[in-house]
Structure 1
Amino acid sequence: MNNLRRMTGIGMFNFQRSVICKTFVVVIGVILTYVILAWGLLPQKYSLSVGQVSPETIYAPRTAVDHYATEKARKQVADQVPDVYTLDQASVESSVSELSKHFSNIEKLSTTEDYLDSEDDSLELLREILTDNEISSLVNMSSDKREELFEFSLVTLESELKQGIKVDDVDGAKINIEEKLDFESITAGQQQALTNLILNYVESNLKFSHEDTKLSREEAKEQVEEIKILKDSKIVDKGEVVTEHHISQLESLGLQEASTQDINFYAGLGLVIMLVLGSIALYLYFNEQQIWKNSNDLLLLSLIFCTALFISKIFGMFSGFLIPMAMAPILIAIVFNSNLAHIVNIALAIFIGIITGNNFVFVVFALLSGMVGIYSVRKVTQRSDLTRAGAIVAISNMLIVLSLTLLTGAFQGSTDMIKTISMDILYGMLNGLIASVLVIGILPFFENIFGITTSIRLLELSNPNNGALKRLLIEAPGTYHHSIVVGNLAEAAANEVGADSLLVRVGAYYHDIGKINRPFAFIENQLGKKNPHDSYDPKYSSRIILQHVSDGEEMANKYKLPPIIKDLISQHHGTTKISYFYHKAKNIDENVDEALFKYNGPKPQTKEAAIIMLADSVEAAVRSIKEHDTKHIIEIIKKVINMKLEEGQLDECNITFKELATIEKKFVEVLQGFFHKRINYPS
């Protein structure tokens, strides 16, 4: 159901269409939204200290990270990570190289006579490590045996050194080498000499790396998942001594008065509100200029939005599923249009998620429930249909709750779980019914305060059992019939030129209700009786005829008709002149005042008012002619429309010549059908 918003007359609120007024409405709307969302959203604060006895049992209002426990667990894991050492590869290569040189020197000495008396530098180097007896034991080995032992010794040393040796592990490394060098094929002296030579090069070659150790421990910390404080879990018991861990948990949850989370929360909330409301403002600016430029419309939209948030806040205290989420989308779909209702529904769903503790389930629930509400009022023709819409939303909510329960895995089959889910489904159904009740109650309030007229109100007014129409039917049947025909004519024309056809039809029904006061003063109600104007002074007759407009306005006030209907009553004759009585008066007195024979107006201000004026004049003119063939109907319609143009009656409304041509063509088509010829039936 699109474009259900009706342009209105003046209601209780009538703001100026100025930038200041619009800015004021927008700013107040943003402030109200912020206050409503922030109100009661943060939990009670506590001022506790370590060693103090807790005055009450405190539970977590939401899920948060337990920084204290998380950091403690990470520290434990980091402490278990061993120190990281790096191998000094140059030291390994140097030791093996030095040992290899000594072996080469021993080979050289084995080919030298009186080598112990020689002044060879290599001998002096060996004497720094070995005694002369140990040197001799190695030199006197057979060449093949010596080569085999030296090669094995080099490999053994290199292998041990490459494994890395800490300072504390040097002795252990030497023992390992001694065990590997235990040969049975050589003498004890030779074994000792070889072992002493090799062990001289067993030393620490692992260096502690502070950076690598720190990096390794940080990596271990990152592997530890954050420990959560689960919603509704107990933080501290009443009478329990408060510890540092308790204080940390309270700060993480924002429950400690000294917590800095409040500032972050309020800043984040403000930013979210600006982004969401800014998106709505951009949509209005680019797609709903009529609403964007009208302070009354912005005020009404803000009131609906803030009222929905306030009601959501109240019902959300009991259960998120009890919030009547479809109320605002339904109201906006009826008062404005369904496209805007969808945009507002998305915004409200986001805010309802915040109200319910950032629970994504309720965001989805609000979105789906609001969408169903919008579609359920696409064909609303009377207020009782809103009850039907509420029932549709209720049934849909039941299915939505069930689907979300299955999706989130909340249904486990236990008795308590089934009871909880049953209550959630009941709440979901109740919120649909509550939404319809609220819409039924709030809609008339907005209609009266802002002077708006919805399609529901117009359809109710079109009922012939309505007070004013019923009186018109009974007391002025000719006028009633004329109004029905005018309504049909005007509605058909309005459909062709994109005007509000429902408003035009209902306005035509009421345009002549002022004739109820003096029905027989109008020829359509005289039913063959003598015309009283034949004996009246033309000025008096004119006063009676002119009076039916002001009488109609008074009748509209009496029956509390919408301002826009009253406007159509005032404008349907504009400032036209009652030519018949004017010329009759001129025949009596040439100096008669023409103003006495003109309607007070105003001239039609809208396309709808212009169409009613033309339909009213055309219907009366065509009915007055004797020949109702197509040619005469076309001639009289053209004459009426041209006369209204020449008199300037259509100067103040937004109707074009092209639309007038379309209206003229439609009038001909409808009146041809109305005055069609019938066959002569046999007597």
Structure 2
Amino acid sequence: MEKLQAHFTKVLNLLNIKLFRILLFLTLGIIMFFAMYSNVKPEKLDLTLFSVAEQTIRSPITIEDKVNTEREKQEAVDQVQDVYIVKKEYAQNQVDLITSIFDTVSEVNNEIKAEMNEKANEETADSGQTTAAGTLDEKLKRLKDKLTEEVTKELSDQPFTAMLQSSSNELSIAKDLTVTAVNNVMSKRIPADEVENAKKRVEEELKYTSLNSGLKNAIITLGRFAVIQNEFYDPNATEELRQQAIDSVEPVKILEGQIIVEEGKLISRDVYEQLKLAGLLESDSSFKPFAGLMMIIAIILAALFFIFDEMDRTEKRQKQLLIFSLIFVMALFIMKLISLFTEYGYSEAGYVFPAAMGAMLIKILVDERLALFQTVILGICGSIIFNQGIAGTLNVMVAIYIVASGLAGIIFLQKQNQRSKILQAGLFVSVVNLLIIISLVLLRNSQYSGLDYGFYVVVAFLSGISSAVLTIGLLPFFEAGFGVLSTIKLIELSNPNHPLLRKILTEAPGTYHHSVMVANLAESACEAIGGNGLLARVGCYYHDIGKTKRPQFFIENQMNIENPHDKLPPLTSKNIIIAHATDGADMLRKHKMPKEIVDIAEQHHGTTLLKYFYHKAKQNGADVKEADFRYPGPKAKTKEIAVIGIADSVEAAVRSMSRPTPEQIEGLVRNIIADRLQDGQLSDCDITLKELETVAFTLCETLKGIFHSRIEYPEITKQKVKQA
């Protein structure tokens, strides 16, 4: 065992060097990569177009089938009809145009008539005929001048001539008929290919009027001229409808776990394209899964490196790092071993994994925060390692199961640190495992038989109990191999039935009482400065174990006996008193006690001076040196030992005082701390002045609670008077 401890010490010394810590993390990364390599390696499928599938193939991922998505979008666009709108204002425009033409004709007739009346008396009958002919030409010319060029070009002179030759009453009737007919036809939808039909409808409506043939032909011509297309294609509205149709098309996706082709079915061109899209035809050249795996491992190791790099740079940190790494690799190995059963059809084998084992071991041996971190890491690794029999790369259900199981173990052991409680923690984990599995099964909304549920009950309890059994079995190896003083070990050492504690109680009861008092003081003070209060308490129980060799030579055990030091020379008394520190350390080593407890017994007095016997020796006239009356040391190396040394001196000093007041207690505590500082007893530990101030305050508060004022009853007072 000593050789093993020596090898561990060498390894721990190497881990003090940053390069070796990096190498350790790289080793962990390589182990993780190869543990999960086969689980992310794409499956090699020998598939060719128009061949028959030898097995049912499911998609490993969810991916969009863009070709089919575009095809459906195009089909949706093709089903959208062009949008045409009716220009309703065109009907009114054309009615206004016809009205304007008739009004212009009437206007021209009225102008010519007025001019003719002025010249009526001057013209002869013959010349009058000439004037009439000239008047019609004049009317036509004047009419064309008043009309627009478009109208005059589109219409011949015949309708204008007929209208100019008609009376006002006839024009009024013709106007009403034409306007009505045009309005009726133009109020309806007239697409480009229906314009001629619309013109015919106007013609039919005006054909049967009672007007003379000349005027009837004229209004028919005007009606046909007035009817135009009023329905037009709207590109903006059409495009908007097409876009809406495109947006309404859901992307065509190949879902994770979806069957692409069933066993014995032909691999058609569409199926082949889906296989290609899912990446099942590129297994030889695909490096993406490995890149993703390396990135996940890199993130985990970076977080782990950061956590340990932020910890105090002590031997304890290197020990915790090594323990964490070994437990993690061990859990990963068990996980990989169990995953081999999934290749034989046991897809639910992941639930057998003792997920709480690593979490409980790390919680007990190292730190709760690191236990939580390892639980999360194992959940991630488990989701990849136990991915056989599922469609995707990650088995999320197993990941949830592992994390929940590990958290259950950590939570149960948060305040239950006895070794006997580990088995209870396993039972608690089993119940949590069962609840998690049942909830996950119900989420699937699938049909399960009673046999299936029975299987889940068995694996849930098997996982929890095996976690507890492995934790109990492995804990002694880590404690012995790494010299770890765990919380459970400390609680066991605090048991009054421990042989050494029983030895103190039976052979030196005064020392036992003194140790308990010092333990109360030291524990509260250590916790106040962030130290290990439990270690301080248990260390105090054993710190004066050396006094059991000569209990009567220590004042707390001198009940109803004379002080033997009164008959001994100061140098002999000094040797007896000082020996209790080294004797205690030797006794503890002999009983294989943890190094931390041995250090407390050996260092709690440091190199302090035995002032009483030193001054007694000087008074006797002896030529003595101060160094001869000092404890051999070493000085306190940790905060806990420094606090225990102060608490030890304080308790002994206060016990010697009669009815101490709070002011006296505070003065005494501060004088003892100042004396230790001036004597250099705290120079080897990392306790600060601020922490010493906190220690002083805590010790004073605890002592005030112990030595608080009590009401003195009359009978007790009378009894004391009689005794006096």
Q: TM-score, normalised by structure 1?
A: 0.70
Greater relative contact order (CA < 8 Å, ≥ 6 in sequence) = 1
Q: 1:368, CA displacement in angstroms?
A: 5.7
CA contact (8 A) 1:326 1:369 kept: yes
What's the counterpart of residue 186 of structure 2? 158
> How many Å separate the matches in 1 of 2:669 and 2:162?
143
Structure 2: give runs of 5+ residues left out of the alignment.
1-7, 113-131, 388-392
Number of the residue aligned with 2:419? 383
Rate the CA distance shift 1:471–1:289 in 2: closer, same or farther, 3 A: closer
Instruction: Write the letter of the residue equivalent to 1:459.
Output: I
3-state DSSP of counterpart to 1:656: helix
Corresponding letter in the other structure for 2:521 = A
Q: Match of 2:699?
A: 663
The separation in 2 between residues aligned to 1:664 and 1:43, in whole angstroms, is: 68
Q: How does 1:166-565 map to 2 (within 5 A)?
A: 166=192, 170=193, 172-176=194-198, 178-179=200-201, 182-183=204-205, 185-186=208-209, 198-199=223-224, 202=228, 206-207=232-233, 209=235, 216-238=241-263, 240-257=265-282, 263=288, 294=317, 297=320, 318-319=347-348, 326=356, 330-331=360-361, 333-335=363-365, 372-402=408-438, 408=443, 410-411=444-445, 414=447, 416=448, 427-428=459-460, 430-441=462-473, 443-444=475-476, 446-448=478-480, 451-465=483-497, 469-470=498-499, 473=502, 477-479=506-508, 482-483=511-512, 485-496=514-525, 498=528, 499-512=531-544, 519=549, 523=553, 553=585, 556=588, 559-565=591-597
- CA-CA distance at 1:329 after TM superposition: 5.4
1:439 shift after superposition: 4.2
Q: Secondary structure at the match of 1:574?
A: coil
Distance 1:578 1:147, change over 3 A: same
**Aligned pairs, number:** 651
Distance 1:514 1:402, change over 3 A: same
Contact kept, 8 Å, 1:487 with 1:506, in 2: the verdict is no
Match of 2:78 in 1: 79
Amino acid at match of 2:245: A
Q: Which has the higher helix share?
A: 2
Whole-angstrom CA distance in 2 between matches of 1:656 and 1:159: 102
Q: Which amino acid aligns with 1:223?
A: S
Q: RMSD over aligned Cα, in angstroms?
A: 6.1
1:613 maps to 2:612: no
Alpha-carbon distance between aligned partners in 2 of 1:616 and 1:495, rounded to the nearest angstrom? 13
Counterpart for residue 601 of structure 2: 569
| Offset from partner CA, 1:211-267 (integer Å, 9 cap, x none) | 76555434312212233434433222456554443344335434342799964x677
Return the alpha-carbon distance in structure 1 between the equivalents of residues 81 and 407 of structure 2.
Answer: 60
Distance in 1 (alpha carbons) for counterparts of 2:513 and 2:20: 41
Amino acid paired to 1:235: I
* SS of match in other structure, 1:40: helix
By how many angstroms is 1:507 displaced?
1.2
Distance 1:29 1:228 in 2: 38
Q: From the superposition, tell whether residues 77 and 257 of structure 1 become closer, same or farther in structure 2 (CA, over 3 Å).
A: same
Q: Displacement of 1:382 after TM fit?
A: 0.9
Match of 2:681 among 649, 672, 676: 649
Separation of aligned partners in 1, 2:267 and 2:457: 41
CA contact (8 A) 1:630 1:672 kept: no
Once residues 26 and 605 of structure 1 are traced to their aligned partners in structure 2, the CA distance between those partners, rounded to angstroms, is 30
CA offset at residue 606 of structure 1?
2.5
Distance between the aligned counterparts of 1:419 and 1:66, measured in 2?
Answer: 40
TM norm structure 2? 0.66
Deviation at 1:648, TM superposition (A): 3.4
* Structure 1 unaligned residues grouped into runs of 5+: 1-8
Answer whether contact 1:321 1:431 (CA < 8 A) is retained.
yes
Moved more, 507-516 or 25-34: 25-34
User: Equivalents in 2 of 1:445, 1:138: separation in Å?
Assistant: 127
**Would the alpha carbon gap of residues 571 and 177 (structure 1) be closer, same or farther in structure 2, given more than 3 Å must change?**
farther
- Label 1:204 to 1:247 Cα distance change in 2 as closer, same or farther (>3 A): farther
Query: How far apart are 1:433 and its partner, in Å?
Result: 3.9
Instruction: Give the partner amino acid of 1:245.
Output: D
Letter matched to residue 411 of structure 2:
Y
Paired position in structure 1 for 2:171: 143
Tell me the SS of whatever aligns to 2:204.
coil
Determine helix, strand or coil for the equivalent of 2:187. helix
Please say which structure displays the higher CA radius of gyration: 2
SS in 2 for 1:72: helix
Partner residue in 2 for 1:5: none
- Residue identity opposite 1:500 in structure 2: N
Instruction: Quote the Cα distance in structure 1 between the aligned partners of 2:313 and 2:94.
Output: 91
SS in 2 for 1:235: strand
Change (3 A) 1:399 1:579: same
For 1:249-303, what per-residue CA distance to the aligned partner results, in whole angstroms no more than 9, with x for missing partners? 335434342799964x6777777778888889999999x8799995655665676
